[in-house]
A and B are shown apart, each in its own frame.
Chain A
Amino acid sequence: MTRLARIIWLLLLSSGSLAVGASAQVDITVTRTVIQRIPIAVVGLRPSGVSGGGDLAAQALSVLVDDLEFSTVFEVLPPSFLPFDAREVRLGEEEKVLASLNHLKVQAMVVAELTQQGKDLTLEGRVYNVSRGVFLGGKRYFGEVTAIRSMVHRLADEVVLRLTGERGVASTRIAYANAEKGATELYLMDYDGHNPTIVTGNRSINLSPRFSPDAKLLAYTSYRDGNPDLYLLNLETGRRDKVSALPGLNISPGWSPTGQWLALSLSKDGGTNLYLMRPTGGGLRRLTNGLAISVSPSFSPNERQIVFTSDRGGSPQIYMMDLEGTNLQRLTFEGEYNASARWSPRGDKIAFASNRGGGGFQIYLMNPNGTGVQQITTVGVNEDPAWSPDGRHLVFTSNRSGKKDIHVMHADGSGQKRLTRSGFNSFAPDWSP
C-alpha cells in the first residue's frame, strides 16, 4: 500500500498534476493555472495523549496542512505516502528523515512539536530545504490553548516566508457585513472563517468595511446616528472616530496604499461624487463632478490611479482616473453592469463583478487597461471581490448556499470554499493586510 502510494506520488509529481486526492475536474483547473507547487512534508506533532481528551497536536496538524495547501505554494505530501510514521518524528531527530523525503522528490519539510503545560502551549516549528538538506529557520510560539489556531497560522506564514521570501496570509483576517434581524453589523473573522467576532453592535446599518494598509484601522459607513456617515475604528484600542458626516452620503471608503489618503463618495453637492480626504479628517479634495454616480474606489498599488464604478455613460461601468481626477478612462464596455473593481496588490489585475453573462453577477479579472477579461466564478451569483494581501486569493460574496455567504478562492478561480455560516446574509468582505 505505502509503496504503491509512493509510486503514485512520484507519478503525480512527474506528470505535473499535483492535486492529490482531488477530483479529475479540479486536477485540470489546477494543472492549467498553477505553475508549480512545492512538494512539502509535514512531520512531527506527536499525539499529545491525555490532557483534556482532545488531541491538540492533531488539531494543530490539521490547521497547518490546511494553511499550507490553501497558500497555493505547497502540495502537502499525504502521510500515508511516507515510509515512516510522520507524526512520530521528534524535534531534533528530523534530519534523519531528510534522505527518504528527498528520495520521494519532496522539496521541503516542516517539523513541529506542541507541548502543553496547563493552559499554556508551546509550538515549535522548523523548516528545511529537503533537496539541499539545509535548515532554513525555526520559530517557537507561546500562547494559551485557546490560541492554538492563531499559533499554527503564524507558523504556516513563517513556512511560506522561509520558502518563498514572502509571508503567507494565514494570520490575516476578513471583515464583512452580516444582515441580522433588524440590523446589519460588521464582523471580523480569521482568514479561514473561524472566530467570527462582531465589531459594531450598534443595531443600525453598518457597511463597506475597509482595512487600512497597516491593518490597524477599519473604515466603514454606519447609520448609527441616523445619517450614513464614515467612521474609523481603531482595531487595537477600540476607539471610534466619525471622520465624515456631511449632509447626504458618506460612503464607500477606499484606502490609498500608503494610508495617507482615504477615497470616499459624498452626495453633498448633488450627484454622488468621489473625493479624497486625510484619514485624520480634513484635506478634502474633489475627484469627480456632475450628477452621475461615482462609488467604490480602489487605488493602484503605486498610488497613482483609482478605479471606480460610475454610471456617467448611462449604466454602471468601471472607470480609471488619476489622483487629480484627470485622465478619465472607461475600462468596461461589455454588459449592462460592471462594478466593485479591486486592484490586485501586485498591480497586474483588476477584479470586478459583471452581469455580462446574463443571470446575475459573476467575478472577472482584467488587465488594468481593460483587456484580457477572464471569468473566474460560475456557480450562483457572485460579487464583492477583494484580494488577499499577497494577491494569491480572493474573498467574495456568493448566494450559492441559498443565501449570501462569504467565500474564498484562489486567484485563478480554483479552490472555492465557503467561510460564513451565520444563517444570515453575509456580504461586502474585505481582506486585512
Chain B
Amino acid sequence: MVRGREAREQRWSGGRFWGPILVVGAALLLTGCPKKPEVGAGGPGAAGGPGAEQVAPARPITEAPVQPEARPTGEGPLKDVFFDFDKAVLRDDARKSLNDNIQWLKGNPAARTMVEGHADERGTNEYNLALGERRARAVRDYLVAGGIDAKRISTISYGEERPFVLGHDESAWKWNRRGHFVIQK
C-alpha cells in the first residue's frame, strides 16, 4: 500500500516522460499488494483516494458459489450431517440423512462406523473440541435410538482442527460444522 502511494505521489511531481511509466508501475504495485487491511492507511493519498481510479481500476470482485471438492457424502455410503453454529441439535435435514444411514447400516450389519464431530473455526480450539464431541455423540445417539447397536459406532472429535472447506465465512463454515462418517474396516 505504502509503496503504491509513493509511486503515485511521484507521478504528480514527475515530468511528462515518466508519468505513464509510473502509472504502470503504480498499477503493478497496487495489484501486487496483499489484501491486508491496514488501519490508518485510509487517509488521503491511500489506495482509493483521489486519482486512484485512473491509476489502477480496481479489479472487479468476482464471486462463485463454493462447492467442496469432494462432498463428504461422496466419500462413502453414509451421509454426513451439518449443524448450526455452537449447536449439536440435529436439524431436519440431518435427521433425514441419518434415517438413510440407519437403513444402510441395517442392510450392512457387519459394517462399523466412526462418527467424527467437527466445528467451524469460530470460537476457541478447546471449546470446539468439546462441541465436536457433543455433535458426534448426538449423531451416535440418534443412530442407536434408530436401532443400531452402539458397539458398531465409535465417536471422535476433531473440533476445528480438520476443516473440510478452507475459508473464513459461512460458505465454508456451514460445511465444517459436521458429523462425518468413516466406515471402519
Interface set, chain A 366-390, CB cutoff 8 A to B: 378-379, 383-384
Q: Offer 25 A-B interface pairs, CB within 8 angstroms, sorted by A.
A: A179-B161, A184-B161, A205-B161, A221-B129, A227-B156, A228-B129, A248-B157, A252-B126, A265-B130, A267-B130, A267-B157, A270-B137, A272-B134, A295-B124, A295-B127, A295-B129, A311-B86, A311-B127, A316-B123, A337-B86, A339-B124, A340-B124, A353-B124, A378-B39, A401-B36
Please determine whether B127 and A339 come into contact, CB atoms closer than 8 angstroms: yes
Is B34 among interface residues, defined by CB-CB distance under 8 A?
A: yes
Q: Which A residues fall within an 8 A CB radius of B?
A: 177, 179, 184, 205, 207-208, 221, 223, 226-228, 248-249, 251-252, 265, 267, 270, 272, 293, 295-296, 309, 311, 315-316, 337, 339-340, 353, 360, 378-379, 383-384, 400-402, 427-428
Residue among A248, A400, A428 with the highest chain B CB neighbour number at 10 A: A248
Q: Which of B35, B122, B123, B133 is in CB contact (< 8 Å) with A249?
A: B133
Q: Which A-B residue pairs are the 3 nearest by beta carbons?
A: A272-B130, A293-B130, A252-B126
Is B31 among interface residues, defined by CB-CB distance under 8 A?
A: no
Please determine whether A379 and B123 come into contact, CB atoms closer than 8 angstroms: no
Residue of A nearest to B129 (CB): A251
Q: What's the Cα separation between A73 and B53 when bound, in Å? A: 48
Is B78 among interface residues, defined by CB-CB distance under 8 A?
A: no
Q: What's the Cα separation between A293 and B128 when bound, in Å? A: 10
Is B158 among interface residues, defined by CB-CB distance under 8 A?
A: yes
Is B125 among interface residues, defined by CB-CB distance under 8 A?
A: yes
Q: Which of A248, A379, A383 is in CB contact (< 8 Å) with B39?
A: A379
Q: What's the Cα separation between A208 and B123 when bound, in Å? A: 14
Is B30 among interface residues, defined by CB-CB distance under 8 A?
A: no
Residue of B nearest to A251 (CB): B129
Q: What's the Cα separation between A359 and B66 when bound, in Å? A: 22
Is B131 among interface residues, defined by CB-CB distance under 8 A?
A: yes
Residues of B within 8 A of A226 (CB): 156
Residues of A within 8 A of B122 (CB): 360
Residue among B124, B156, B158 with the highest chain A CB neighbour number at 10 A: B124
Q: A249-B157, A401-B36, A402-B36 are in contact. Are A208 and B125 (CB under 8 A)?
A: yes
Q: Which of B86, B130, B137, B161 is in CB contact (< 8 Å) with A315?
A: B86
Residues of B within 8 A of A207 (CB): 125-126, 129, 161
Q: What's the Cα separation between A152 and B161 when bound, in Å? A: 38
Q: What's the Cα separation between A309 and B126 when bound, in Å? A: 9
Q: Which B residues fall within an 8 A CB radius of A?
A: 34-36, 39, 86, 122-127, 129-131, 133-134, 137, 155-158, 161-162
Q: What's the Cα separation between A359 and B114 when bound, in Å? A: 35
Sample of 6 more A-B contacts, CB < 8 Å, known A208-B125, A248-B133: A227-B156, A248-B155, A252-B129, A270-B137, A272-B134, A400-B36
Residue of B nearest to A296 (CB): B126
Q: A184-B161, A272-B134, A315-B86 are in contact. Are A402 and B127 (CB under 8 A)?
A: no
Residues of A within 8 A of B157 (CB): 228, 248-249, 267
Please determine whether A384 and B124 come into contact, CB atoms closer than 8 angstroms: yes
Residues of A within 8 A of B162 (CB): 205
Please determine whether B133 and A309 come into contact, CB atoms closer than 8 angstroms: no
Please determine whether B36 and A309 come into contact, CB atoms closer than 8 angstroms: no
Residue among B129, B134, B137, B156 with the highest chain A CB neighbour number at 10 A: B129
Q: What's the Cα separation between A401 and B37 when bound, in Å? A: 9
Residues of B within 8 A of A378 (CB): 39
Please determine whether A316 and B86 come into contact, CB atoms closer than 8 angstroms: yes
User: Nearest-CB distance from B157 to chain A (Å)?
Assistant: 6
Q: What's the Cα separation between A30 and B1 when bound, in Å? A: 27
Residues of A within 8 A of B131 (CB): 293
Q: What's the Cα separation between A315 and B127 when bound, in Å? A: 11
Residues of B within 8 A of A227 (CB): 156
Residues of B within 8 A of A311 (CB): 86, 127
Q: What's the Cα separation between A54 and B75 when bound, in Å? A: 57
User: Nearest-CB distance from A170 to chain B (Å)?
Assistant: 28
Q: A265-B126, A339-B127, A340-B124 are in contact. Are A205 and B86 (CB under 8 A)?
A: no
Residue of B nearest to A265 (CB): B130
Please determine whether B126 and A251 come into contact, CB atoms closer than 8 angstroms: yes
Residue of A nearest to B131 (CB): A293
